[in-house]
Amino acid sequence: MKQRMAIYLDKTILIFEEEDAKKIYTEKYFGKFIDFGEKKALQLSFEESLYLLESKKITIKNNKDNKILDFELFYKICSDLDKELYQKYCVYRDIRKKGYIIKSGFKFGTHFRVYEKGVNPYKTGDKTKKEHTKYNVHSVMENDVFVYNEISRYVRLSHNIRSIALLGVVDSEGQVTYYSVQRIKL
């Protein structure tokens, strides 16, 4: 399979080549298209970029020095910018390997939104139950400590959009266990 070229540009990963961008996007909806000056580009998150790099579907070139970034160096760059990257990437990779569509959950107060296999997360108009976000997944390390109101807010937001709140708990070996968190009315 041909590796597509991505550019690391000031904390952003972009694919400018239109054919490459469309190919990456249509393969399970990686990234999102953005306007970049007079061009369109496919913007990838750190987790998406790492997954595609590890899967050898993209090559990443550093815009500053035009050097190709291998997985280890790119992971270090990303983890210096995002202190939660380890647990987020473990969960992201695990969900992607299971075939689900996974996108940012930032606006829903969590790390990821997860859709059923094959669902277009960008569909407009009426959506069937299958097309809604199935899970809101927050990634945590097994020894993390929480404040109850953080979990309450996360669960309420998940229920408001008719999705299941999951905690993706990463252990010291990078294995992920998922726990459903629900609000129960008495």
Q: Per residue in 123-172, pLDDT tens?
A: 777 766 667 788 999 999 999 887 788 888 888 888 888 889 999 999 99
From-to residues of CATH 3.40.1350.10 in the chain: 93-181
What does the alpha-carbon distance between residue 72 and residue 181 come to, in Å, rounded to a whole number?
A: 34
Domain 4-81 bears CATH identifier 3.40.1170.20: yes
**Sign of the alpha-carbon dihedral angle for 90, 96, 99, 102:** positive
For the stretch 95-122, pLDDT in tens is 999 999 999 998 888 899 999 888 877 7
- State mean pLDDT over 39-61: 96
Q: Which fold has domain 93-181?
A: Trna Endonuclease; Chain: A, domain 1 (3.40.1350)
Contact call for residues 74 and 20 (beta carbons, < 8 A)? no
